[in-house]
Amino acid sequence: MDLNLRGRRALITGSSKGIGLAIARSLAAEGCDVQLVARTQSELDKATAAIRADYGVAAVGHAADLSDSAGVKAVAAAAGEVDILVNSAGAIPRGTLLDIDEARWRKAWDLKLFGAINLTREIYGPMCQRGKGVIVNIAGMAGERPDAYYIAGSVANAALIMFSRSLGGDSIRFGVRVLAVNPGPVETEKHINDTRRLAKEKFGDENRWRDVMSGLPMKRAATTDEVSGMVAFLCSDYSSYISGASILIDGGLLTDSAVGVRRG
């Protein structure tokens, strides 16, 4: 399906690897000119060069720390006019309330939560003035499924979901759509490395990392393409009646009736 996105300008954070990079590539495949944001310029250079070669669109990278307000403002100024903003930066460590001290908690939230809110503030105003635009915040399934062992992530994702719903319910009056996308487990490089460690602990063999996923309803994690394809669709005019919504991509995990049985 041609999503009619050709020529639109997209800004994607956390996009030198993982879900963010997959989203940048999906939007580029639809003809969007893309601007990628991450901390490391060398990784951005590699990603943007590949996108230009593969899709023939404009692709540039902005190296910035979005946990710092000065970095946010610099990216917004460099990006110029943006039709699509995807906030995908930030990974929050697992741990209980007693595991995650204040400094570590604040550092994680400054990027994942406040980085998204602050960059949205910078991009949202000009979008409203032009009367068009789409903002997609990549939160996570933990925002809908409380997890005491991922408490900082659960609470941040819940806040980002509610931020998207709250803003998206009003933004549509100005022609701007705001949404949240909540992936469950996704087969990124980080996910594979984490799962290898679990496989080593559980089976004594890190190469059995896929077996760790056998308890999921679909017995696997999502691919990055399954997430990025949904984001591209939501950014298109085919989704023009959707704003303030939260889209779950979890392979049925949140509503898996067997989870309650396994937990007793």
Domain of residue 50, CATH code? 3.40.50.720
To the query of whether residue 150 is one of the catalytic residues in this protein, the response is yes
Number of domains comprising the chain: 1
DSSP 68: S
Domain membership of residue 35 as a residue range: 9-186+222-251
Q: One digit per residue, pLDDT tens: the chain, 264 residues? A: 799 999 999 999 999 999 999 999 999 999 999 999 999 999 999 999 999 999 999 999 999 999 999 999 999 999 999 999 999 999 899 999 999 999 999 999 999 999 999 999 999 999 999 999 999 999 999 999 989 999 999 999 999 999 999 999 999 999 999 999 999 999 998 889 989 998 999 999 999 999 998 989 999 999 999 999 999 999 999 999 999 999 999 999 998 866 543 433
Cα(195)–Cα(182) distance, integer angstroms: 20
Q: With respect to residue 86, please indicate whether it lies within any of the assigned structural domains.
A: yes
Of the listed 149, 150, 238, 241, which one is catalytic? 150
| Token representation of residue 88 | 């995908």
Distances (CA, A) of 54 to 157, 164, 227: 33, 32, 20
Q: Is 98 exposed, middle or buried (0-12, 13-18, 19+ CB in 10 A)?
A: exposed
Q: With respect to residue 4, please indicate whether it lies within any of the assigned structural domains.
A: no
Q: What pLDDT score does 190 carry?
A: 87
Backbone angles phi, psi at 245, to 5 degrees: -105, 160
Task: Tell me how long the chain is.
Answer: 264
DSSP 58: -
Q: Is 205 exposed, middle or buried (0-12, 13-18, 19+ CB in 10 A)?
A: exposed
Q: With respect to residue 260, please indicate whether it lies within any of the assigned structural domains.
A: no
Q: Say if CB 19 and CB 227 are below 8 A apart.
A: yes
Angle, CA of 226, 254 and 179, to the nearest 5°: 55
Q: What pLDDT score does 257 carry?
A: 64
User: By C-alpha distance, which of 53, 62, 1, 60 is closest to 30?
Assistant: 1
Q: With respect to residue 19, please indicate whether it lies within any of the assigned structural domains.
A: yes
Q: With respect to residue 206, please indicate whether it lies within any of the assigned structural domains.
A: no
Q: With respect to residue 124, please indicate whether it lies within any of the assigned structural domains.
A: yes
Q: With respect to residue 78, please indicate whether it lies within any of the assigned structural domains.
A: yes
Q: With respect to residue 264, please indicate whether it lies within any of the assigned structural domains.
A: no
- 53, amino acid identity: A
